Amino acid sequence: MLYSELSGFGESNQIIYKTEELLQAAPNRFKITVQIANRAKRRKYEDVDIIDDPRIKPVIRSILEMADEITQPEIISD
């Protein structure tokens, strides 16, 4: 999934859907929330020089990435 393809009304729906998908797949909601926050924080400081898409905040990007990793294990296995 290309995160730059998210736009407008569909963006909000996609983010909500992916967030729910991630929370349902996680055995511990608190732990996954902390993992999302840590990844977003790390991404914020690591990608200071890289400007991907300023409209998508690091926490949203982290949610989308983690949801894809959980629901599509072939992404990680390569």
The pTM (predicted TM-score) of the whole model is: 0.69
What integer pLDDT is reported at residue 1 of this predicted model? Answer: 47
DSSP per position, 24-71: HH-S-HHHHHHHHHHHHHHHHHHTSS--S-TTS-HHHHHHHHHHHHHH
CA distances from 28 to 1, 18, 33, 75 (A): 25, 16, 9, 22
Tens digit of each residue's pLDDT (9 = 90 or more) over 40-71:
998 877 766 566 666 778 889 899 889 888 87
Rounded Cα gap, residues 13 and 69, in angstroms:
19
